[in-house]
């Protein structure tokens, strides 16, 4: 059964609170054009016209959070029935307009990669680099090493 997602906005358009299956999710610090929330089982990425009360409207275009949510949804749809699926955080559900995207929460050690620039030179970065190139997902991603396996959880930059 798909968890129920509730997103509550303030009068100014900022995300005020998120609940997943009735449980309040913890908001992560704002560090991108999407607002992320976590529970013990899920990660939710929410488009917000204003990331916080003091921010202006987000610009449309390639960095549009709805575009990132849509791209991650489409990428997951393509990889979920392949052997590569273990290297991607699973998408559980998305709003019809892609205003939010619900993923399985992956626990482990976070790593940021810039693949084509040789930022890291270890077995994990080589595997992730190969996957990102194979799937034509650009050269930047965020990865969590979970049980010795690199899992890409932020793969919506390019489709």
Burial per residue of 14-53, b for 16 or more beta-carbon CB atoms within 10 angstroms, e otherwise: bbeebbbeeeebebeeeeebbbbbebeebbbbbbbebbee
Confidence of residue 151 (pLDDT cuts 50, 70, 90): confident
**Closest alpha carbon to 88 in 36, 45, 137:** 137
Confidence of residue 150 (pLDDT cuts 50, 70, 90): confident
Range(s) of the chain covered by CATH 3.30.200.20: 5-104
User: Where do we find the tokens 């488009």?
Assistant: 47
Confidence of residue 30 (pLDDT cuts 50, 70, 90): low
Strand, coil or helix: what is 2? coil
Give dist(CA 98, CA 6) in Å, integer. 14
CATH node for 5-104: 3.30.200.20
Over 80: is that where the pLDDT of 141 sits?
no
Instruction: Return the bridge partners of 89, or none.
Output: none
Q: Which residues contact 144 (CB under 8 A, 6 or more apart)?
A: 89, 106, 107, 108, 109, 110, 111, 150, 151, 153
């Amino acid at each position: 059964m798909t968890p129920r997602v509730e997103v509550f906005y303030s009068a100014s358009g900022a995300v005020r609170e998120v609940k997943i299956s009735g449980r309040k999710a913890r908001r992560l610090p704002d560090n991108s054009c999407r607002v992320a929330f976590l529970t013990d089982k899920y990660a939710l990425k929410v488009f917000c016209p204003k990331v916080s009360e003091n921010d202006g409207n987000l610009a449309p275009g390639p960095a549009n959070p709805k575009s990132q949510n849509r791209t991650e949804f489409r990428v997951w749809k393509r990889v979920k029935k392949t052997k590569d699926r273990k290297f991607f955080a699973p998408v559980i559900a998305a709003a019809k307009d892609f205003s939010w995207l619900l993923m399985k929460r992956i626990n482990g050690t976070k790593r940021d990669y810039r693949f084509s620039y040789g930022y890291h030179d270890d077995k994990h970065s080589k595997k992730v680099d190969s996957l990102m190139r194979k799937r034509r997902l650009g050269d930047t991603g965020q990865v969590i090493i979970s049980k010795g396996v690199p899992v890409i959880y932020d793969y919506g930059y390019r489709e």
